């Protein structure tokens, strides 16, 4: 049987990490895990429970209820994709809302939230054959991952991609606002005290500013083949 790998894909927001990770998983018949979706699901839970208010975040209550938040990824044959479930409810669409997006950085800075989600992520990875994308997958979650990719692209290109994506969904969007949001998230991701976004020393950088998805797939195929054939 072919060697099964753990592939970690980290990088800045709106770089196309999930699209890339999904395509790799599909091609290899691996499991794809969007770790950002897990932070988003916890954030949605906190919004619904009113743990996030004008005065700040009620960290104590969040920590107390962490063990009540169950997150699963369930395959939907209609969309041909895994969707995020929180406590048995399909939240795939709601976790992408602007409300969740604007609070998720704060929730993902809580050390106890990270500890719990990292534990969950590792438990999913024990069987290998997994592609996981996020910010700390190659540095914290799977420091021994077989392949580590660090993705980046220019701010303007990321903002344009995000703008087009939201536009296509018919959502009202303002390019400058999206651009500012991306810069703010980069700063939050790189500067949080716990598990900040960093390139692992052994990660390969992929700047996809001027690369099509096909070009990225050709690039990674070569790396995967070498890894699998190396035994
Ligand atoms: O990739 P994304 O935009 O869906 O991630 C949502 C948020 O979660 C983002 O603010 C960074 C955070 N995140 C994290 O801190 N660690 C991860 N492994 C994945 C995401």
Residue nearest to atom 13 of ligand 1 (CA): 36
CA dihedral 110, 114, 116, 118 (to 10 degrees): 180
Name the pairing type of β-strands 71-76 and 81-86.
antiparallel
Please report the pLDDT score of residue 110 as a whole number: 95
**What domains can you pick out in the chain, each with its CATH number?**
1-30+129-231 (3.40.50.300), 32-128 (3.40.50.300)
Question: How much helix, strand and coil, in percent to the nearest 5, is found in the chain?
Answer: 50, 20, 30
CA distance readout (Å), 125 to 84, 108, 129, 139, 160: 17, 20, 8, 15, 33
Tell me the best of 19, 92, 135 to mutate to test the pocket of ligand 1, counting ligand atoms within 8 Å of each CB and taking the most: 135
Instruction: State the distance between the two ends of the chain, measured CA to CA, in whole angstroms.
Output: 11
Q: In angstroms, rounded to a whole number, what is the distance separating the alpha carbons of residues 48 and 178? A: 25
Please report the pLDDT score of residue 83 as a whole number: 92
Instruction: Report the nearest atom of ligand 1 relative to the CA of 101.
Output: 6
Q: In sequence order, what are the beta bridge partners of 132?
A: 8, 33
Residue nearest to atom 20 of ligand 1 (CA): 36
For residue 135, the CA-to-ligand 1 centroid distance in Å is 6
- Is 57 in contact with 51 (CB distance < 8 Å)? yes
The pair of three-digit structure tokens given for residue 215, joined into one six-digit string: 């070009």
The response to whether residue 35 sits with its C-beta less than 6 Å from ligand 1 reads yes
Q: In angstroms, rounded to a whole number, what is the distance separating the alpha carbons of residues 41 and 76? A: 18
Residuewise pLDDT in 10s, the chain (231 residues): 778 999 999 999 999 999 999 999 999 999 999 999 999 999 999 999 999 988 889 999 999 999 999 999 988 889 878 899 999 999 999 999 889 988 998 999 999 999 999 999 999 888 889 999 999 999 999 999 999 999 999 999 999 998 998 888 888 889 999 999 899 989 989 998 888 999 999 999 999 999 999 999 999 999 999 999 886
Q: In angstroms, rounded to a whole number, what is the distance separating the alpha carbons of residues 24 and 182? A: 25
């Amino acid at each position: 049987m072919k060697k099964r790998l753990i592939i970690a894909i980290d990088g800045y927001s709106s770089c196309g990490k999930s699209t890339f990770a999904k395509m790799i998983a599909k091609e290899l018949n691996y499991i794809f895990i969007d770790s950002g979706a897990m932070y988003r699901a916890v954030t949605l839970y906190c919004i619904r429970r009113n743990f996030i208010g004008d005065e700040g975040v009620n960290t104590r209550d969040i920590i107390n209820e962490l063990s009540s938040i169950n997150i699963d990824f369930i395959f939907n044959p209609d969309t041909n994709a895994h969707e995020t479930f929180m406590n048995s409810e399909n939240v795939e669409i709601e976790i992408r809302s602007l409300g969740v997006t604007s609070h998720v950085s704060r929730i993902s800075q809580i050390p106890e939230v990270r500890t719990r989600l990292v534990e969950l992520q590792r438990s999913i990875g024990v069987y290998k054959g997994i592609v996981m994308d996020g910010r700390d997958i190659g540095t914290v979650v799977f420091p021994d991952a077989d392949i580590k990719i660090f993705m980046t692209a220019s701010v303007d290109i990321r903002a344009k991609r995000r703008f087009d994506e939201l536009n296509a969904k018919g959502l009202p969007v303002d390019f400058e606002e999206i651009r500012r949001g991306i810069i703010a998230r980069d700063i939050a991701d790189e500067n949080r005290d716990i598990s900040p976004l960093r390139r692992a020393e052994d990660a390969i950088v992929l700047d996809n500013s001027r690369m099509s998805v096909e070009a990225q797939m050709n690039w990674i195929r070569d790396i995967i083949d070498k890894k699998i054939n190396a035994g």
